[in-house]
Amino acid sequence: MEFKHVTVLLEESIDHLLTDPDGTYVDCTLGGAGHSRLLLKRLGPGGKLIAFDQDPAAVKHAQALFAQDQRVQIINRNFVYLEETLKELDVLPVKGILFDLGVSSPQLDEAERGFSYMQDAPLDMRMNSAQALSAEEIVNEWSAQELERIIREYGEERWARRISDFIVNRRAHSRIESTGELVEVIKNAIPAAARREGPHPAKRTFQALRIAVNDELGVLDRTLDQALNCLDAGGRVGVITFHSLEDRLVKQRMQSWLGRCICPPDFPVCRCGAEAKARLVSRKPILPSAEEVDYNPRARSAKLRVAEKL
């Protein structure tokens, strides 16, 4: 597979992240290496880039791309091990850390990965093909209650109960093994009138399964504070999100770094020990331009939030 990917919020993210051209930076989501390439163009000879990706295809692509650049170190690992890995490499503290969350175009477009509801393929959705849990296991072995919960919470799908009931009824006869089979079950579960408006009827359920398979929200939750810990004073962390669940988590965590007192208003003195650890570089999220959305519709829902360590 040729690992091609249109990078979202490319200039904006590097503009906001880069503060010292001779510093060490971390790309936690290497993917097609778009952000890494631009970062390296702007880094000086003393700069260094550490790039993480759990997808062997992304790592192989980047190793070939950056083979001649001694400033790059590629780590084939989930970014949940960020702080541990940077300690092992003895590069702390770093000047900037970037997360570009979600699925890269090659993962969506390569049918056999099972991420897309537009192509029939094995029901997989693993970003790291070495892990055991797949979408096929969740769909066929998790309880109706658990299926309903993840489809409602992670997919924000109003028809979560009907979809989970239809899945359980269908798998009682035979396992659901392909994306095409699952799409048909979802279409049958959602009333025809509801299918006529809005996005593809399977979009929300597929998002929910992908998040559950890869524990995306859990990994992000466990990594954001690590990122702040790893930064030098004045260093920045930038996070590009693609759906409201990720964005809400990032927004709330960055707000918690501001150190605002959460004591009841009738307390005479602060007891919560609130202490500012960071400031917001931009009060509101940075959004893609209309031009970017025109040539890359996948950028439509992207939001970039950036915080600077005090």
E-strand ranges in the chain read 24-27, 48-52, 72-75, 94-100, 231-241, 278-280, 303-309
Q: What is the pLDDT of residue 109?
A: 62
Cβ atoms of residues 93 and 235 within 8 Å: yes
Residue 187: closest CA among 117, 124, 114, 136 = 117
Question: Residue ranges of the domains in the chain?
Answer: 10-100+216-309, 131-214
Q: What is the pLDDT of residue 112?
A: 77
Q: What is the pLDDT of residue 114?
A: 86
DSSP state of 21: T
Residue pLDDT, tens place only, 134-188: 999 999 999 999 999 999 999 999 999 999 999 999 999 999 999 999 999 999 9
Topology of the domain covering 131-214? DNA polymerase; domain 1 (1.10.150)
Residue pLDDT, tens place only, 233-268: 999 999 999 999 999 999 999 999 999 887 888 888
Q: What is the pLDDT of residue 107?
A: 61
Cβ atoms of residues 65 and 40 within 8 Å: no
State which residues of the chain have pLDDT below 50: 1
Architecture category of domain 10-100+216-309 in CATH: 3-Layer(aba) Sandwich (3.40)
DSSP state of 307: E
Q: Which residues contact 137 (CB under 8 A, 6 or more apart)?
A: none
d(CA 224, CA 211): 17
